[in-house]
Structure 1
Amino acid sequence: MADIPTLLTERLLLRPPNHSDFDEYAALLISPRAMYMGGPLDRRVSWGMFCSDIAMWHLYGHGALMIELRESGRCIGQVGINHGPFYSEKELGWLLYEGQEGRGCATEAAACLRDWAFAELELGTLVSYIDPLNAASIRVAERLGGIHDENAVPQDPGDVVYRYNPA
């Protein structure tokens, strides 16, 4: 079983998910904001995804962390490394709750987890699978130094894939 790390950035605490995080997580996935993640989804599917985010730590040594503002303690979203039988490569993903965009928190959290994965897991590469209409996530991937990889196998048909390599 892997220990789930807690990671710090200047503004953020990336911490293991807990049961009290589920309602806000599910609210995002049930909403129209989840359209770039295969949603909107129902609460039952949201619970399965939430549990999978935690289980991946024990199966693969990586998974999801909740993004919390250090100053206020408010949870504003999630960042994670996804993997499993339905992923052709390990994926760096992020989501922010409504009203939390535009401050660079997704980029800061994803950069922290990406760097942790390259250093601690010694991964050779990570990808982000992004719906081509999700301009905000494409901008995050580009700010992270991701390179559009037209030869990568997408997660869902039509996804664009951004690749990250260790520095």
Structure 2
Amino acid sequence: MSVKTQSSPSIPVIETDRLRLRAPNMADWSLYAVFMASDRAAHMGGPFTKAAAWGMFCHDVAQWRLMGHGSLMIDKRVDGTCIGQVGINAGPLFPEHELGWLLYPGFEGQGYALEAAAALRNWGFNVLGLKTLVSYIHCDNDKSRRLAERLGALLDETAERHDPEDVVYRHVVVPT
């Protein structure tokens, strides 16, 4: 009998001046579940049950194996505190590759989401070789809309979306 193993895509660790973007692990589940069960998940379709949040958490991890990209947890480099998540999503539920982000309570307004999203956007274009990247944002989520604009993304009113209440921001390649 012959046994062959498939190689797994490696999950990158991406570092910025203040942040480390790294693979999710089980220690991240409890904070993620609390966030997804809260009103803060409303612009993502939540709040979610624990079972639904678990499925989303597993989806974030599984995409690395299935598609070579997925979600990364955002840690502060200074002390290792996990402050949220940033990810590139794709698959049958997404018309295009999507850049998404979330920050846990208490970490907004400090530029962390901008720094993490810019780093993963650049990785997606320059390392993964993506040709397009969008962010699907609920039309009432003003904070995420402003963040997409600060990232240089442009509103694309003609882009396909899976949720009619979303607006689509198209990211542009930033040369490295």
Bin for the TM-score computed over the shorter chain: over 0.9
The structure 2 residue matched to 1:54, chosen from 61, 70, 75, is 61
One-letter identity of the residue aligned with 1:78: Q
Distance 1:35 1:75 in 2: 21
Q: Structure 1 residue 116 and structure 2 residue 116: aligned?
A: no
Secondary structure of 1:72's aligned partner: coil
The number of residue pairs the alignment matches comes to: 167
Stretches of 4+ aligned residues off by more than 3 angstroms: none
Counterpart of 2:146 in structure 1 is 139
Distance 1:128 1:155 in 2: 12
Q: List gaps (5 residues or longer) in structure 1.
A: none
Shift of 1:99: 1.0
Counterpart of 2:161 in structure 1 is 154
Give runs of aligned pairs for residues 5-154 of structure 1, distance below 5 A. Answer: 5-154=12-161
Distance 1:69 1:51 in 2: 23
8 Å Cα contact 1:124/1:165 also seen in 2: no
Q: What TM-score results when the alignment is normalised by the length of structure 1? A: 0.98
CA deviation map 1:15-70 (0-9, x unaligned): 00000000000100000111000000011110110010010011111000000000
Shift of 1:96: 0.3
Pair member with larger Rg: 2
RMSD value, Cα: 0.7
One-letter identity of the residue aligned with 2:60: D
Distance 1:155 1:143 in 2: 24
Secondary structure of 1:102's aligned partner: coil
One-letter identity of the residue aligned with 2:15: L
